[in-house]
Structure 1
Amino acid sequence: MSRTRVRRWLVGFLALVVAMTTVWVATPGAASASRRVACADLAQVRLPEVSSASAELDTDGEAAGMTGLPEFCRVVLTVVPQIGIEVWLPTGTYNRRFEAVGGGGYAGAISYPALANALRSGYATASTDTGHQVRDGSFALGPDGRLNQQLITDFASRSLIELTLTAKTLIRAFYGRPAEFSYWNGCSTGGRQGLMLAQRLPGAYDGILSGAPAINWDRFIPAELWPQVVMRQELGAPIAACKLTAATEAAVARCDRNDGVVDGVLDDPRRCDFDPRSLIGQATPCGAFTAADAGVIQAIWDGPRTTGGRSLWYGLTPGTPLNALAGPVPFPIAENHIRFWVEQNPQFDWKTLDYAGFERDFRASQRLFNDVIGTDDPDLSRFRASGGRLLIWHGWADPLIFPQGSIDYYQRVLDRTHRVGDFARLFLAPGVGHCGGGSGPNTFDMFGTLVNWVEHRSAPDRIIASTVENGQVVRTRPLCAYPGAARYDGRGDPNSAASFDCS
């Protein structure tokens, strides 16, 4: 580990120790660790780097557009230069646990729905806007045309550390004692945030749930633009939507039996050997499938390549809907990343990128942003030593973040730590999209599984996922701890999880 990372960890660790052991109030003398601070007085708690604070008791069941809320103390903070943080502290419904919640995309806003869900379940909870108040990637570029390293760092990591330290201090002040257990819960950007905390602030959380984590940010984000570059270079325009659908449906039809049962879901798309060239000449509502169409589909599945043909990153898996990245316009986060972060030119037009230009920008993204936001350090030894538990999950049919990236990271953690299953496990959800949805069984309780693992030391080997239609469960299937995968036993009800083994 570099000296910079060691120094960063030491600073965060020492700050955490201070935050967890001492509460200072802006009244004469220091407050006892057992003294409870009234809600209105929480605004006076001295918190490093906080430039403004307010606190009020919410008793009407509504806040920030959320309804059905129990009574709670709402603390609103600003950490210099402009990191927004909210900490919600339930009164009579408190379960003595802390659940910090993550954001999505480029963040830029407090995650109020996630805060409300955590609060309703009795958790003290907190969220951050990550240091900017815009929802696109333009915050990374300053008025002078240069990267705003402060805001980028705040977005990538500092806001998460500040959220953790301030929330833990306020919890101790308000309840007179620290939370008995602390959890992180996030998906997509929130999943990346959880892994950043495991890597940069080990010991802060007893359990971290990291869904569809946006790690490998410096590579997977530019890789999201690859389908657009390929279509423009090979076809001159986006491929017709019905041809994308035809390729996806044909891949599922070809490989559906690989897991022993035909159910419209690919349990492991890596095992699918469908060749889109078999569609050449097939009629579709948007014209005959051409050789050029087949080449584009295969390139999207293969993922970005150098001009010499070497792989740069992963592609979308066969059976995954392609329209999100290969639709008529680029995915905004990827386009913003190239324009503001890499080219550093608000007027840059991605359409000017040929294969060589894409490779150049891909390499530049790695060089500029891996250290700050790659979030792919496999050394989780300090998190493991702290007793933390990490649960990662990813949908196999994620149309935005390539699930192979999560597998790649987990495998590197395994190579580094060896007995990784004793503190970290990965679950892949067949047919499930980005943070949910999709054609596979997509209803499951990952957070409850994590809590059970942390508090009862019950390490999960399989998690039951359900397909719910009209309020009724019509199918169940086990999600298996990686590298296991569900296999039908050939005898039982194919719609019952009891008929599947993890192998």
Structure 2
Amino acid sequence: MIQRTRWKTLTDGARTRGASSRSGARRRWLGVLAVLTLGVGIGTAPHHDSAAATATELTRPVRTCESLTQLTFADGTTVTSAAQTAATPAICNVTLVVPESNGISMALPVDNWNGRFHGAGAGGYGGWLSPEQVAAPARAGYASAGTDGGHTGSPLDGSWAWSPTGMNASLINDFAYRSAHEMTVKGKAITTAYYGRAPDHSYWNSCSGGGRMGLMEAQRFPDDYDGILAAAPALNADRFVPAGMWPQVVMRESGNFVPRCKFEEFTRAAVAACDARDGVTDGVVDPQTCAFDPAGLVGRQTPCGRITAEDATVMKRIWDGPRRSNGSRLWYGIPRGAPLSAYAGTAETDGLPNPLPGDWFKYWLAKDPNWDWHTLTSADFATYFEQSRREYGPLLATDDPDLSDFRDSHGKMIIWHGWADEVIMPQGSVDYYTRLLATMGGKAKTERFARLFMAPGVQHCVDGPGAFPADPLADLVKWVEQGQAPDTLFARNGNMTRPLCRWPAVARYTGQGSTDDAANFRCSGK
């Protein structure tokens, strides 16, 4: 049996930085549960890249899977189960429970470990981690671990943070940063015990809330990972989550709950006006430069009625995003080209707030389970928004642009975000990366360790008309282990392929060959 003193050394080894609605709407939003929790999403799970794999010799375990239950940790963490599957490839599935926190899931390849550790986190409010999010990397050869964020429940339920006696600070800390770090440290320790040696390299790979956790790892625990892949990261959670309630406030105050088919007509018109204008229809290349005016659709007939001037005014305010009474901006709006049903849901003469911002206002800000969103005015919204920044920004924002410790640890980071993201305003990722460039010495110096790629037409993590990265983890592995920094990310959507360019460059059609072939596009505007 491994002695407790040895586990004390293993678990304390990482250096830390900083102390630092309605039932109908909820049921519909459970439909996006997979997107919020499946990490980088379907089609972009890590694959065993042959070029990268040559750097590491495959390793077999030095002990049985079942014997891992005999291990103990100095802090009382227990291995509650360890069982090997009969499937091919064989996997050792392990679960751990951290005191005063929650479970860690692991999947360890029995015959083909590639010497790498893979970490992943939960989306939304956490509480649940897809088994596939842990199993898929293990099938590809990674020692894989995942965290549910330190509690159990639905990713669309934020009530766990509240209690009648106050906010649950321990659970919030778990969700913010502790669960990801504990999973990483304990996961590496289990990996070392199982294979008889520590991982050669460690990678974080997640989308949405898991992307936020990856950025938090880089900011608070810069030695935990050699490479971090953060897709559509939920950074700025203190701002983008409350901003998701803005469309409902706009419609309620105007007395005009715009039906879905009118919103869809506005989106179609914006894409038609602001697409690449070169015969390529895969989404708005950069919504920030799209100046389409919804007033141009006044009078157009739709299946749910004629578009009115009042409809156009509501649309303009939703795209623009929340502002204070003096006109100054609070946060960004839903980008032109993104679906509007996520945050601007309506039913007949009433709104259907998304559970993500709905629970944020109810439990995290008003701290009252009986709070009624219909009482929220634009003036109240600004007050609540500032409260959100003040109370949760230092803990959850994950937007510290000083990544010097991560850079000095030779870490590499890839951030990518879809320009049609309907859940997390992609302008927030651009805002963060812009500040990162300013803090870390400019574009040339920053791109030595961190690069941003924007994906036109891609919705939250996956879906939409645009092409999303086919295997960004392989690109990250090559960068970390072979020094090959990605100039573009190869992206795919069905038969259509595209190069995703380093921000702010965008892919432009050369005018020759198929518009479905990435080879016929060039990056422009670096």
Q: State TM-score, norm by structure 1.
A: 0.88
SS in 1 for 2:163: coil
| Misfit runs of 4+, over 6 Å | 11-14
User: What SS class does the counterpart of residue 466 from structure 2 fall into?
Assistant: coil
Return the offset for 1:441. Answer: 1.9
The aligned counterpart of 1:90 is 109
Aligned counterparts of 1:59 and 1:330: Cα–Cα separation in 2: 43
Q: Paired residue for 1:457, among 448, 461, 483?
A: 483
Residues 99 and 123, structure 1, Cα contact 8 Å, conserved in 2: yes
Letter in 2 for 1:114: Q
Q: 1:333 aligns with which of 335, 356, 360?
A: 356
Task: Tell whether 2:303 aligns with 1:285.
Answer: yes
TM-score (norm 2): 0.85
Query: How many residues in Structure 1 have an aligned counterpart in Structure 2?
Result: 464
CA deviation map 1:243-300 (0-9, x unaligned): 1011011111112244x33425211122211100111111111111111111111111
SS at match of 1:324: coil
Deviations 1:100-122 (A, max 9, x none): 11211111123311111111111
Q: What whole-Å deviation, never above 9, does each CA across 1:291-335 have from its counterpart, x for those lacking one?
A: 111111111111111111110001111111111111121111110
Matched, 1:173 2:193: yes
- SS of structure 2 residue aligned to 1:50: coil
CA RMSD of aligned residues (A): 2.1
1:233 alignment partner, SS class: helix
Structure 1 segment 423-502 matched on structure 2, within 5 A: 423-442=449-468, 444-468=470-494, 473=495, 475-502=496-523
What amino acid maps onto 1:160 in structure 2?
Answer: A
- Matches of 1:357 and 1:484, distance apart in 2: 39
Asked if 1:320 is matched to 2:347, the reply is no
Q: Is the 8 A contact 1:50 1:77 kept in 2?
A: no
Which residue does the alignment assign to 2:123? 104
- 1:385 counterpart (408, 427, 431): 408
In the alignment, structure 2 segments of 5+ residues that lack a partner are 1-7, 17-60, 347-351
Amino acid at match of 2:254: E
| Kept in 1: contact 2:66–2:84 (CA 8 A) | no
| SS, match of residue 397 in structure 1 | coil
Alignment of 1:148-187 (within 5 A): 148-187=168-207
Q: 1:52 aligns to what?
A: 78
Q: Which residue of 1 aligns with 2:373?
A: 350
- Aligned counterparts, 1:66-465, within 5 A: 70-135=89-154, 136-144=157-165, 146-236=166-256, 238-258=257-277, 260-328=278-346, 329-418=352-441, 419-442=445-468, 444-465=470-491
Cα distance between partner residues in 2 of 1:389 and 1:18: 18
Report deviation, 1:36. Answer: 4.4
Q: Secondary structure in 2 aligned to 1:231?
A: helix
Q: Please state whether the residue corresponding to 2:266 is helix, strand or coil.
A: helix
CA contact (8 A) 2:270 2:292 kept: yes
Structure 2 CA distance, aligned partners of 1:18 and 1:485? 38
Structure 1 114/264 Cα, relative in aligned 2: closer, same or farther at 3 Å? closer
Secondary structure of the corresponding residue to residue 383 of structure 2: helix
**C-alpha contact 1:140 1:148 (8 A) present in aligned 2:** yes
**2: distance between equivalents of 1:60 and 1:36?**
19
Residues 87-134 of structure 1: CA deviation (Å, up to 9, x unaligned) = 222211211111111211111123311111111111111111221112
Structure 1 gaps of 5+ residues are 1-10, 20-34, 62-68
Match of 1:16 in 2: 13
Query: Which stretch has the larger CA shift, 110-119 or 331-340?
Result: 110-119
Please tell me the residue identity of whatever aligns with 2:372: D
Q: What is the DSSP-based 3-state SS (H/G/I as helix, E as strand, rest coil) of the residue aligned with 1:394?
A: strand
Q: Is the 8 A contact 1:115 1:126 kept in 2?
A: yes
Aligned partner of residue 323 in structure 1, secondary structure? coil
What code does the residue aligned with 1:117 have?
Answer: A
CA contact (8 A) 1:97 1:181 kept: yes
Asked if the contact 1:12/1:161 (under 8 Å) is kept, the reply is no
More displaced, 110-119 or 365-374?
A: 110-119
Distance of 2:66 and 2:244 partners within structure 1? 46
- Amino acid aligned to 1:16: G
Asked if the contact 2:231–2:416 (Cα under 8 Å) also holds between the matched residues in 1, the reply is yes
- CA contact 1:85–1:110 (8 Å) conserved in 2: no
Counterpart Cα distance in 2 of 1:325 and 1:296:
13
Measured in 2, the distance between the counterparts of 1:225 and 1:281 equals 28
Q: Sort the Cα spacing of 1:51 and 1:275 in 2 relative to 1 into closer, same or farther, 3 A.
A: same
